[in-house]
């Protein structure tokens, strides 16, 4: 009996490997991404009602929405001495320190063959939440939707937007 | 079933285990987002920034615009504000990017150990050694230091000069092998000033070029190509339609000859003699201009002895050619004679021709305030080299890509001199032939990383700004020199008041401002210059008169046909004097006339090939470029190379391209082909040779199938008479291929409601310069595959310059060579679309034939079914050795192995423009979208636009030129969206 089962088992195992290897989507949004600092979108966008594009300022002008420069953080947090907001991380207020970079971990990523552009979506009045979910309620951003082609096309059909392959895949 | 484990749970387990095993290996690499700490106000990530600067790839001085994305330059384009480039640059200029990102650039300073190997050292150590060596050399006496560099513009050259003075030396060479000496010396002899003139090809009605390949490498090719297209544009003159007549005198056709009416195959080195024959005929026929103040008696005396008969005999051309060229020059309202090569006498003869026919000041113009001479005359350079030979130099410095060991005349024996010098310092980018013997190697910035200025001609001042942060750990050459001069101190050292080269350029511009625009605000002047690339003014023409003394000068020409075979070397259109060889685009784009890539070849006429015993017959249907190796013996030694048999070279002449044969200079150039400079005499590019056929075989590589249109009309041409009569030329088509009576549709025609993109290509304006091909490589991330794979039929160019040789029977009613860009025709009935099993090849609603990479499974059916052969398959995963990948356009997918790709009409540019227009709530304007090829074309042969807009320049162009319009292979009913306009030629009877 084993002579039958073992080859089949191996075959299945290999099949499993192949299926998973080809079906996994390395660019799918990751729900397990931890960030280097405990930044909370709930506090900023939810409680304090800071508009998304105050920080992600390139969204209406470019393909990428942009992650705010450290200067933008310091703009509010650095003015603590003038009665501003208490900074939660001390070094930002210390101007004698060399400027440092924050290495955020990417939550949303698209493969190279998808040329998504934020700009027309913002101008068409698509709310950020329609793709990114209720970020203003999240402390740590986790994806709500899996952003695959079906997700894009559904919305494009609903809104009567282009369904041309070439617009995104070029 | 066995005991314990049910079949079902076993399958589950197996699959889960498989998944578990696969997961860790496939986890995406941690991707980081690192935002700016303090953002640059003017930079929006994802939106390109453009910086105006200048091209440093040749002496023409084109202004360029660098497209920068996220801090790295991804493309170079011509600067529309610049009067020389006017928005276009050639393939060489665009490939400067690959010099910047060259993976073989020196990464750190190096010193040579006693055993000859190189050792990395720190910058402090390198600078210390540099200055210590200079110091000890300066202490041992005057003129113990020699500097051989290339001219980098007035401000930086000034630094070099002052720096060398500080160290007490005068031995300074700004070297350029394809130099200006002959043109300047002839101007001195004829007009009393060593100025370079400007040429107006567009104002001439007839052009005779005595060996000047002005559409390839001579002078300012972008500018001349633009002017030449205007010259060849059909115009009404005195009520009749006409185009300019051009003759090209050279043993090799070249693209200049391809676009000329007459290719005069004189022996190499007899161009000047032919010019004298033409001058003689003009004088004797009385065709000279009456209003010139030339002493006729002296002129008659001067040209006596050059009667057309003896001249044509010595040059090996028919006598009527000489007389007819004389009538062109003498009887046209305006004409232009230009001289090429390094021979002083040819230049004198050509200047005289222009003066005698009254074209001085019209088509050949000298300007007031011409820039001072930058290059060192060859005889002075030779003196410096001799001083190195004589042991009078302790420290020699080779810098700025001058590469004297490669390009200085063989007789100077520079390689030996550089070996002899006690301490040789090499400063540059990619270590070249001259770095081989260097004791200290210092990496310097690429011109695109440096502050520079440039003053190519009167009225044109350009500023070159760095377009990105340095790619490597290099420093600006002139910063090193300034610091070194400060260290030396002394009075001359105090003359360098600047801290670095940026200050020096800025200071030079302040001076310029006080001269050019004293009323403006200096800051405003400077920022205006940065924005527009420079300060441009109308230059005043200078009235020059012929120095009559020249007519008493005795010119010496060879008086009889050569007995031996002659070697005629020509600068490769892309590799130029050899500096292009480290740039893979320039190696892989086929040389337009031979279509050969990555090599040195010997062009030989079928007759000559038979003479030397080659049994291979000439046949335009050859599927390979050449295979037989011959040994060529010159007075300076011998070399071997494979023969390319072609009718496009004079019998008895071997035409060989210059530019390969580097002993170093990076992976793309090293040990490839032959360095022709090593075999050429000082002021000539031809030499008598002996040729021996060897048994060796070496395959020359071309991506071209053959040189014959096989009875199909792919590239069409028509005579001027046909155009005047407004009738379509009769085109022979294969008998079995019936022409459809009109567009044939089986189904309802598809409507394209919005935009419908199309292109009009004026073949008459195409010079085959391949700037479009280079632009396509840069814009669309096309991969380089290398010689071996091109040999296997693999090349990734979406756009190619196709060339066909007219058969001898039709030669009298055909252009010298058919040349045209061929790219995806974006057919309405695209044959590639129905055969794709996965709909990867689809038609868009804007009329584009799209290729969806992520859907493609690589069946290659589409490629088989494409009648234009414009689809390219990725047989291998493309590779970009670091840091060349930094050049990739982020808006275009990098295709992987197994994927088909093709021209997209630059969909990324269309999409970007459409998004801009839509967000602004408007329609696209005509000319808002321009493809990379159309942008790059120096002659504006390519127009891109919306077919649904009847006022677009593209539609207008095809409507206005209706008699010339045709589509390629119309019998296939593929309905291409590219309309070509036939090239126009003069029939032989009407020349």
pLDDT in tens, B447-499: 999 999 999 999 999 999 999 989 999 999 999 999 888 887 666 556 788 88
d(CA B410, CA B330): 40
Place of tokens 């009409």: B905
pLDDT for residue B354: 92
At B893, is the secondary structure helix, strand, or coil?
Answer: coil
d(CA B529, CA B535): 6
Segment B76-129, tens digit of pLDDT = 999 999 999 999 999 999 999 999 999 999 999 999 988 889 999 999 999 999
pLDDT value at A103 more than 50: yes
* Percent above pLDDT 90 for chain B: 63
Structure tokens given for B971:
């019998």
Cβ density class B345-364: b for 16+ within 10 Å, e for less:
bbbbbbbbbbbbbbbbebbb
d(CA A145, CA A154): 12
Best residue in B3, B6, B16, B18 for a mutation probing chain A (most A CBs within 10 Å)? B18
Cβ within 8 Å, pair A61-B44:
yes
B-chain residues near A24 (CB < 8 A) = 22-23, 26
Least CA distance to B22: which residue of chain A? A17
A-chain residues near B842 (CB < 8 A) = 165-166
CB of B920 less than 8 A from some CB of A: no
* Percent above pLDDT 70 for chain B: 94
Mean pLDDT across chain B, nearest whole number? Answer: 88
- Contact in structure between B281 and B323 (CB atoms under 8 Å): yes
pLDDT value at A34 more than 60: yes
B-chain residues near A69 (CB < 8 A) = 35-39
Best residue in A1, A6, A15, A17 for a mutation probing chain B (most B CBs within 10 Å)? A17
At B453, is the secondary structure helix, strand, or coil?
Answer: strand
d(CA B869, CA B832): 10
pLDDT band at A105 (very low <50, low <70, confident <90, very high): confident
pLDDT for residue B638: 93
For the segment A51-72, the average pLDDT, to the nearest whole number, is 89
Considering only CB atoms, A62 lies closest to which of B2, B46, B904, namely: B46
Listed residue (B200, B208, B237) closest to B457, CA to CA: B200
pLDDT band at B732 (very low <50, low <70, confident <90, very high): low
Which domains, from first to last, does chain B contain? 110-178+373-513 (3.40.50.740), 181-365 (3.40.228.10), 565-697 (2.40.40.20), 758-985 (3.30.70.20)
At A14, is the secondary structure helix, strand, or coil?
Answer: helix
Q: How far is CA B873 from the centre of its chain?
A: 27
Higher pLDDT, A128 or B623: A128
pLDDT band at A30 (very low <50, low <70, confident <90, very high): low
Strands B872-873, B900-901: pairing kind: antiparallel
Considering only CB atoms, B14 lies closest to which of A9, A70, A109, namely: A9
Listed residue (B345, B400, B349, B340) closest to B375, CA to CA: B400
Segment B657-676, tens digit of pLDDT = 999 999 999 999 999 999 99
B532 CA to chain A: closest CA distance, Å? 25
Considering only CB atoms, B31 lies closest to which of A1, A106, A167, namely: A106
Least CA distance to B15: which residue of chain A? A16
* Distant-in-sequence, close-in-space partners of B885: CB < 8 Å, separation ≥ 6: none
- Contact in structure between B276 and B575 (CB atoms under 8 Å): no
For the segment B878-907, the average pLDDT, to the nearest whole number, is 93
Cβ within 8 Å, pair B45-A27:
no
* A–B CB contacts, 8 A cutoff, strictly below: 159
A-chain residues near B33 (CB < 8 A) = 67, 103-106
Strands B942-946, B757-762: pairing kind: antiparallel
Taking only residues 880 to 899 of chain B, the set having a beta carbon closer than 8 angstroms to any beta carbon of chain A reads 891-894
B871 CA to chain A: closest CA distance, Å? 15
pLDDT band at B21 (very low <50, low <70, confident <90, very high): very low
Cβ within 8 Å, pair A62-B44:
yes
B262 CA to chain A: closest CA distance, Å? 45
Across A38-113, the runs of DSSP E, i.e. the strands, are: 104-105
pLDDT for residue B674: 94
B896 CA to chain A: closest CA distance, Å? 10
Structure tokens given for B58:
């040749």
B841 CA to chain A: closest CA distance, Å? 10
pLDDT for residue B35: 83
Considering only CB atoms, B915 lies closest to which of A70, A111, A117, namely: A117
CA distances to B32, B34, B37, B560 from A103, rounded to whole Å, are 6, 5, 11, 77
- Contact in structure between B964 and B718 (CB atoms under 8 Å): yes
Neighbours of B397 (CB within 10 A): 30
d(CA A104, CA B437): 48
Cβ within 8 Å, pair B47-A24:
no
Considering only CB atoms, A113 lies closest to which of B854, B904, B907, namely: B854
Best residue in A11, A15, A16 for a mutation probing chain B (most B CBs within 10 Å)? A16
CA distances to B715, B747, B803, B818 from B806, rounded to whole Å, are 11, 39, 10, 7
pLDDT for residue B823: 95
pLDDT for residue A112: 87
3 state SS for B311-375: HHHHHCCCHHHHHHHHHHHHHCCCEEEEECCCCHHHHHHHHHHHHHCCCECCCEECECCCCCCCC
**Residue B195 CB burial class (10 angstroms; 0-12, 13-18, ≥19):** buried
The arrangement of strands across the sheet holding B978-981 comes to B942-946, B757-762, B978-981, B965-966
Backbone angle region of A53, left / alpha / beta, with phi > 0 → left and psi within -120 to 50 → alpha: alpha
pLDDT band at B745 (very low <50, low <70, confident <90, very high): confident
Segment A140-156, tens digit of pLDDT = 888 888 888 899 999 99
Listed residue (B184, B194, B195, B190) closest to B366, CA to CA: B195
CA distances to B107, B114, B116, B420, B548 from B438, rounded to whole Å, are 16, 12, 10, 11, 50
Cβ within 8 Å, pair B919-A119:
yes
Neighbours of B486 (CB within 10 A): 16
CB of B33 less than 8 A from some CB of A: yes
B924 CA to chain A: closest CA distance, Å? 15
B-chain residues near A106 (CB < 8 A) = 31-33
Structure tokens given for B787:
């010689």
Considering only CB atoms, A20 lies closest to which of B19, B34, B853, namely: B19
pLDDT for residue B765: 94
Residue B872, φ and ψ in degrees, nearest 5: -125, 135
Segment B575-623, tens digit of pLDDT = 999 999 999 999 999 999 999 999 999 999 988 998 888 876 666 555 5
pLDDT for residue B852: 94
pLDDT for residue B734: 56
Cβ within 8 Å, pair A123-B893:
no
Neighbours of B954 (CB within 10 A): 23
Taking only residues 820 to 849 of chain B, the set having a beta carbon closer than 8 angstroms to any beta carbon of chain A reads 842, 844-846, 848
For the segment B755-783, the average pLDDT, to the nearest whole number, is 94
Considering only CB atoms, B907 lies closest to which of A61, A67, A170, namely: A170
Taking only residues 8 to 27 of chain B, the set having a beta carbon closer than 8 angstroms to any beta carbon of chain A reads 10-11, 14-19, 21-23, 25-27
Cβ within 8 Å, pair B17-A13:
yes
């Amino acid at each position: 009996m084993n002579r039958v089962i073992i080859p089949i088992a191996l075959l299945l195992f290999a099949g499993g490997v192949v299926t998973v290897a080809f079906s996994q989507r390395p660019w799918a949004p990751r729900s397990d991404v931890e960030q280097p600092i405990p930044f909370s979108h709930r506090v900023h966008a939810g409680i304090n009602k800071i508009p998304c594009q105050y920080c992600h300022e390139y969204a209406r002008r470019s393909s990428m929405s942009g992650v705010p420069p450290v200067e933008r953080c310091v703009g509010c947090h650095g003015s603590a001495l003038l009665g501003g907001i208490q900074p939660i991380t001390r070094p930002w207020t210390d101007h004698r320190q060399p400027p440092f970079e924050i290495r955020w971990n990417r939550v949303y990523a698209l493969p190279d063959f998808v040329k998504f552009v934020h700009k027309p979506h913002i101008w068409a009045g698509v709310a950020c939440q329609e793709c990114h979910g209720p970020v203003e309620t999240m402390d740590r951003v986790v994806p709500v939707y899996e952003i695959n082609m079906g997700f894009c096309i559904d919305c494009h059909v609903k809104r009567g937007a282009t369904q041309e392959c070439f617009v995104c895949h070029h | 079933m066995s005991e314990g484990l049910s079949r079902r749970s076993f399958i589950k387990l197996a699959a889960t285990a498989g998944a578990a095993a696969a997961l860790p290996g496939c986890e995406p690499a941690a991707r980081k987002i690192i935002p700016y700490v303090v953002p640059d106000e003017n930079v929006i990530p994802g939106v390109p920034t453009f910086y105006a600067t200048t091209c440093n790839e040749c002496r023409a001085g084109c202004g360029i615009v660098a497209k920068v994305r996220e801090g790295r330059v991804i493309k170079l384009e011509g600067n529309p504000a610049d009067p020389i480039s006017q928005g276009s640059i050639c393939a060489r200029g665009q490939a400067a990017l690959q010099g910047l990102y060259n993976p073989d650039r020196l990464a750190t300073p190096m010193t040579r150990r006693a055993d000859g190997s190189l050792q990395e050292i720190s910058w402090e150590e390198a600078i210390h050694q540099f200055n210590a060596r200079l110091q000890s050399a300066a202490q041992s006496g005057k003129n113990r230091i020699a500097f051989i560099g290339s001219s980098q513009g007035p401000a930086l050259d000034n630094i070099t000069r002052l720096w060398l003075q500080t160290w007490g030396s005068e031995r300074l060479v700004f070297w350029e092998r394809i130099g200006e000496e002959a043109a300047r010396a002839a101007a001195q002899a004829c007009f009393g000033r060593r100025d370079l003139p400007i040429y107006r090809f567009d104002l001439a009605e007839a052009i005779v070029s005595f060996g000047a390949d002005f559409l390839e490498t001579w002078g300012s090719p972008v500018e001349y190509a633009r002017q030449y297209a205007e010259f060849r544009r059909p115009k009404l003159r005195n009520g009749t339609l006409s185009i300019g007549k051009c003759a090209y005198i050279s043993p090799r056709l070249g693209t200049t000859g391809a676009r000329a009416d007459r290719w005069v195959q004189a022996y190499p080195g007899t161009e000047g003699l032919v010019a004298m024959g033409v001058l003689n005929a003009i004088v004797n026929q009385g065709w000279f201009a009456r209003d010139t103040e030339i002493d006729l008696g002296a002129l008659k005396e001067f040209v006596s002895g050059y009667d057309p008969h003896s001249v044509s005999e010595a040059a090996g051309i028919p006598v009527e050619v000489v007389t007819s060229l004389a009538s062109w020059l003498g009887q046209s309202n305006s004409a232009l004679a230009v001289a090429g090569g390094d021979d002083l006498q040819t230049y004198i003869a050509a200047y005289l021709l222009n003066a005698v026919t009254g074209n001085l000041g019209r088509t050949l113009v000298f300007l007031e305030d011409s820039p001072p001479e930058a290059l060192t005359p060859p005889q002075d350079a030779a003196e410096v080299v001799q001083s190195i030979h004589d042991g009078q130099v302790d420290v020699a410095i080779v810098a700025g890509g001058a590469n004297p060991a490669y390009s200085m005349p063989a007789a100077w024996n520079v390689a030996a001199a550089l070996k002899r010098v006690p301490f040789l310092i090499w400063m540059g980018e990619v270590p070249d032939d001259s770095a081989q013997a260097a004791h200290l190697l210092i990496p310097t910035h690429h011109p695109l990383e440096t502050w520079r200025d440039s003053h190519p001609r009167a009225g044109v001042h350009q500023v070159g700004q760095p377009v990105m942060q340095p790619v490597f750990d290099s420093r600006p050459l002139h910063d090193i020199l300034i610091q070194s001069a400060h260290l030396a101190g002394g009075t001359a050292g105090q003359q360098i008041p600047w801290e670095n080269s940026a200050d020096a350029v800025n200071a030079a511009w302040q001076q310029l401002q006080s001269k050019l625009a004293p009323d403006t605000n200096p800051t405003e002047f400077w920022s205006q210059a940065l924005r527009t690339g420079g300060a441009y003014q109308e230059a005043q023409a200078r009235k020059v008169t012929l120095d009559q003394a020249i007519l008493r000068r005795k010119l010496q020409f060879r008086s009889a046909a050569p007995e031996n075979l002659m070697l005629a070397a020509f600068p490769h259109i892309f590799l130029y004097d050899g500096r292009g060889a480290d740039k893979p685009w320039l190696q892989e784009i086929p040389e337009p006339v031979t279509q050969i890539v990555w090599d040195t070849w010997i062009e030989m006429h079928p007759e000559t090939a038979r003479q030397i015993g080659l049994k291979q017959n000439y046949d335009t249907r050859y599927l390979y470029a050449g295979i037989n190796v011959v040994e060529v013996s010159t007075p300076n030694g011998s070399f071997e190379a494979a023969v390319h048999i072609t009718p496009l070279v004079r019998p008895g002449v071997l035409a060989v391209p210059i530019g390969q044969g580097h002993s170093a200079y990076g992976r793309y150039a090293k040990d490839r082909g032959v360095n022709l400079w090593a075999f050429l005499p000082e002021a000539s590019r031809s030499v008598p040779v002996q040729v021996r056929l060897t048994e060796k075989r070496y395959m020359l590589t071309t991506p071209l199938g053959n040189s014959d249109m096989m009875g199909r009309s792919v590239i069409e041409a028509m005579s001027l008479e046909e155009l005047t009569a407004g009738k379509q030329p009769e085109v022979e088509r294969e008998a079995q291929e019936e022409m459809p009576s009109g567009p044939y549709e089986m189904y309802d025609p598809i409507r394209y409601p919005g935009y419908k993109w199309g292109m009009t290509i004026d073949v008459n304006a195409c010079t085959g310069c391949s700037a479009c091909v280079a632009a396509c490589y840069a814009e669309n991330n096309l991969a380089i595959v290398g010689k071996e794979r091109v040999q296997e039929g693999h090349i990734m160019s979406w756009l190619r310059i196709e060339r066909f040789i007219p058969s001898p029977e039709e030669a009298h009613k055909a252009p010298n060579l058919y040349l045209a860009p061929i790219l995806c025709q974006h057919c309405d009935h695209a044959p590639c679309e129905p055969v794709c099993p996965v709909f990867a090849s689809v038609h868009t609603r804007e009329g584009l034939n799209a290729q969806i990479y992520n859907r493609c499974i690589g069946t290659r059916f589409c490629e088989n079914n494409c009648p234009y052969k414009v689809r390219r398959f990725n047989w291998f995963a493309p590779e970009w050795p670091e840091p060349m990948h930094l050049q990739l356009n982020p808006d275009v997918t990098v295709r992987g192995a197994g994927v088909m790709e093709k021209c997209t009409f630059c969909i990324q540019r269309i999409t970007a423009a459409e998004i801009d227009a839509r967000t602004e709530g408007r329609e696209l304007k005509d000319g808002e979208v321009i493809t990379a090829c159309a942008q790059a074309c120096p002659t504006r042969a390519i127009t891109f636009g919306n077919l649904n807009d009847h006022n677009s320049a593209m539609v207008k162009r095809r409507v206005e030129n209706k008699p010339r319009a045709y589509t390629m292979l119309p019998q296939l009913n593929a309905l291409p969206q590219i309309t070509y306009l036939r090239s126009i030629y003069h029939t032989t009877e009407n020349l």
